[in-house]
């Protein structure tokens, strides 16, 4: 598995949080440390919980009624995994982190699919709006590469009209529609499989966006789609 500089920095930070955390920590604090949106951090922690690496606990507020806060802490499985990946011969914590990163990149982490899923989110997690706009931009690039972007001459005006409404329902349909345009009989299955996870994340992020964020996304998507009318 190829690990980018950004992913490497993420792994180092999350290992530091693991080492420093002696008490359960709120996902918003994890998000701040990792420079991720709180939604991405929450999803990642829930994914780690499903695999048994963290466990959630609920903290009730002593002053008045209110919802309990969800906190997370590493499990014994996480401790054992870090020890195994770092190796007993590591002379320092910095060396231990380098060993962990090297072994994850080499595919020696037993939950390789988990690592891939989390690191994929890291690449898009700094900004939810940016992640969604980058996905549409990637689909436009694929349309151009296949010489299919001219099909957008017919659809672009309709799509732009929907985008300008900045309605969640209309924006929700956009990546699936463009994926259909970008696909051909020869690569439909391969292309769809490669984008399904990214589109699902787009849908989740869109559902959580407030009106201001959707407006910003709509403005960015308009700039991406509009040039296709003239190609």
Residues 15-50 pLDDT 10s: 888 888 777 888 888 888 887 777 778 878 888 898
The verdict on 62 and 112 lying in the same domain is: yes
pLDDT digits (tens, 9 = 90+) for 129-150: 888 888 888 888 877 776 665 6
Asked if residue 225 has pLDDT above 70, the reply is: yes
61 in the same domain as 150? no
Average pLDDT over residues 89-94: 84
Q: Are residues 137 and 225 in the same domain?
A: yes
Mean pLDDT of 58-84: 77
Over range 121-131, report the average pLDDT.
Answer: 67
Instruction: Please tell me the total count of domains within the chain.
Output: 2
Domain closes at, from 65, 94, 124: 124
Overall average pLDDT of the 199-223 stretch? 84
| Residue 161, C-beta contacts closer than 8 angstroms, at least 6 positions apart | none
87 lies in the same domain as 57: yes
Find the CATH number of the domain harbouring 74: 1.10.10.10
Q: Are 71 and 136 contained in the same domain?
A: no
- Are 14 and 118 contained in the same domain? yes
Q: How many Cβ atoms from other residues are within 10 Å of residue 13's Cβ?
A: 16
- Are residues 25 and 71 in contact, defined by beta-carbon separation less than 8 angstroms? yes
Tell me the C-alpha distance between 180 and 5, whole Å: 33
Name the band, by pLDDT with cuts 50, 70 and 90, for residue 192. Answer: low
* Mean pLDDT within 154-170: 79
Q: Which residue, of 98, 124, 150, is where some domain finishes?
A: 124
9 and 120 assigned to the same domain: yes
189 and 89 both lie in a single domain: no
Q: Are 85 and 168 part of one and the same domain?
A: no
Q: Are 213 and 168 in contact (CB under 8 A)?
A: no
Same domain flag for 174 and 115: no
For residue 187, the model assigns a pLDDT of: 60
Is 228's pLDDT higher than 70? Answer: yes
Same domain, 106 and 144: no
Tokens of 58: 């609920």
Nearest residue to 133 via CA among 68, 214, 190: 214
**Which of 122, 109, 93 shows the shortest CA–CA distance to 33?**
122
Query: What integer pLDDT is reported at residue 126 of this predicted model?
Result: 46
Q: Same domain for 104 and 148?
A: no
Q: Which domain holds residue 108?
A: 5-124
Which of residues 124, 142, 170 is at a domain's end? 124
Task: Specify which residues 72 forms β-bridges with.
Answer: 25, 56
DSSP secondary structure string for all residues of 9-63 = HHHHHHHHHHHH--S-EEHHHHHHHHT--HHHHHHHHHHHHHTTSEEEEEE--SS
**What does pLDDT average to over the chain?**
80
């Amino acid at each position: 598995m190829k690990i980018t500089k950004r992913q490497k920095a993420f792994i180092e930070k999350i290992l530091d949080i693991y080492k420093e955390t002696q008490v359960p920590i709120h996902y918003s604090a994890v998000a701040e440390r990792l420079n991720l949106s709180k939604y991405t951090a929450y999803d990642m922690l829930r994914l780690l919980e499903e695999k048994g690496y963290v466990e959630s606990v609920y903290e009730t507020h002593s002053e008045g009624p209110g919802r309990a806060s969800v906190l997370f802490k590493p499990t014994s499985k996480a401790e054992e995994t870090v020890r195994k990946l770092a190796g007993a011969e590591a002379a320092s914590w910095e060396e231990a982190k380098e060993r962990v990163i090297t072994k994850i990149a080499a595919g020696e982490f037993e939950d390789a699919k988990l690592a891939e899923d989390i690191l994929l989110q890291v690449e898009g997690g700094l900004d939810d709006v940016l992640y969604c706009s980058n996905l549409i931009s990637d689909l436009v690039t694929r349309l151009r590469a296949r010489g299919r972007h001219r099909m957008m001459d017919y659809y672009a005006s309709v799509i732009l009209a929907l985008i300008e409404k900045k309605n969640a329902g209309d924006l929700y349909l956009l990546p699936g529609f463009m994926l259909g345009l970008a696909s051909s009989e020869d690569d439909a299955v391969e292309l769809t499989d490669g984008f399904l996870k990214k589109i699902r994340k787009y849908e989740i992020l869109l559902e959580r966006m407030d009106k201001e964020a959707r407006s910003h996304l709509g403005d960015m998507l308009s700039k991406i789609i509009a040039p296709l009318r003239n190609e």
